[in-house]
Amino acid sequence: MATRRNPVIVWLSTTLSVAFARLTAVLPLPVARGLGRTLGRLAYYTVPRVRGVCLQNLDHAYGDSIGRSEKRRIAREAAENVGIVAAEFSRVPALDAATAASLVTVSGLEHLEHGGFMIGAHLGNWEWIAPVLVVNGVKIAEVVRPLDDPRFNTFVDRTRTSRGVRTIAKERSGPEILRLLREGWVVGALVDQSPREAALPVTFFGKPCWATVAPAMVALRAKAPIVAITILREADGRYTMTISPPIDTARTGDLRRDLLDITQRCQDCIEAEIRKAPGQWLWLHRRWKERPRLESEWRAKEEKSRSG
């Protein structure tokens, strides 16, 4: 059962978040980024959960292959990156073609010429992916989970759609996703978090966890390619956006095996990109969280498959 949040805290959180966005929208970009980075670092040092979850995840992913000081550096950079993303979010309405070209180098656009399902991660500045693609001539819709506070959700959705991006609420989104893909749209989703529903067992950084089956299911049903996209921040503050060639979605005739294999390939692509810039990934999400219900349901399916 979901915990009911204090309405006063919700109101205050939304008010401060919107005020922060309006402030960063008018500040020079380097100043806005510096403010976001500072707030992210402050959270790392003053909010035990931020530091604790990041370091726990890094222990899980890297084990003893990197030292404790390196893990602390990555965790601190990850917290700072969240602050930078928050500070840059308010710039989405200003990302016209000229501004986007001055801030983002894009490669691999040819892989989106005929539409397809685009997967990404909370890596670099993920909020700029869709608007940058729009100003490069791509018709794109992104699958999003509506935020709990309606007032904040309205603000965020208005900002995301300000450059012509279409948003699709995650709940019961299947029919709309399929329709848009068949019409030649690119539909995007971030697939690096732990799902509660419609998940398959995979490995991520060599450790077992759960991943959404949506990209594999949609690709097979719509006969659409899956491409991976990343947008990584370089040392000079510019971004490099890279769109991969289509991920292998060949059918073997065994639907269950196909879904497992394609889902794993999607996670492998995401993992490879995170390893390039681990300090820009959202380590404060519990990616390897245990899902007892999913585990129980999967065991039941496995037993049914063996007995059948």
pLDDT tops 70 at residue 276: yes
Q: Is residue 248 part of a domain?
A: yes
Partners of 225 in beta bridges: none
- Number of domains forming the structure of the chain: 1
> In angstroms, rounded to a whole number, what is the distance separating the alpha carbons of residues 163 and 134?
7
Please provide the average confidence, as pLDDT, over all residues in the chain: 95
- What pLDDT is recorded for position 119? 98
76: pLDDT strictly greater than 70: yes
Cβ neighbour number for residue 254 with a 10 Å cutoff: 10
Q: Which amino acid is at 170?
A: K
Measured at the CA of 212, the angle between CA 206 and CA 216, to 5 degrees, comes to: 100
In a domain, residue 223? The reply is yes
80: nearest Cα among 260, 254, 278, 222: 278
**φ, ψ for residue 136 (rounded to 5)?**
-100, 15
Rounded to whole angstroms, how far apart are CA atoms 191 and 170? 12
Confidence at 308, pLDDT banded by 50, 70, 90: low
Q: What is the pLDDT of residue 1?
A: 42
Q: What is the pLDDT of residues 135-157, one digit of tens each?
A: 999 999 999 999 989 999 999 99
Cα 211 from Cα 30, distance rounded (Å): 36
Give the pairing type, strands 199-204 and 140-144: unpaired
Q: Please determine, for residue 2, whether its predicted confidence score (pLDDT) is greater than 50.
A: no
107 within a domain of the structure (yes/no): yes
| 242 falls within a domain | yes
Is 20 part of a structural domain of the chain?
Answer: yes
For the whole model, what pTM was predicted?
Answer: 0.94
Choice between 303 and 255, residue whose per-residue pLDDT is larger: 255
13-49 tens-digit pLDDT: 999 999 999 999 999 999 999 999 999 999 999 999 9
Task: Please check whether residue 2 lies inside any domain of the structure.
Answer: no
Residue closest to 55 by CA, chosen among 39, 40, 69: 69
Mean pLDDT of 233-252: 95
Q: Do the domain assignments include residue 1?
A: no
Confidence band (pLDDT; 50, 70, 90) for 305? confident
Give a yes or no: residue 14 inside a domain.
yes
Handedness of CA 128, 134, 138, 143 (dihedral sign): positive
Q: What is the mean pLDDT of residues 195-200?
A: 92
Structure tokens at 118: 């685009």
Mean local confidence (pLDDT), 299-307: 80
For the chain, how many residues are written?
A: 308
Q: Which residue has 């992104």 as its token pair?
A: 142
pLDDT top residue among 121 and 5: 121
Average pLDDT over residues 261-266: 97
Question: For 97, phi and psi rounded to 5 degrees?
Answer: -60, -45
Which pLDDT value is given to residue 3? 55
Locate 109 and state its tokens.
């656009």
Give the domain extent around 44: 7-307
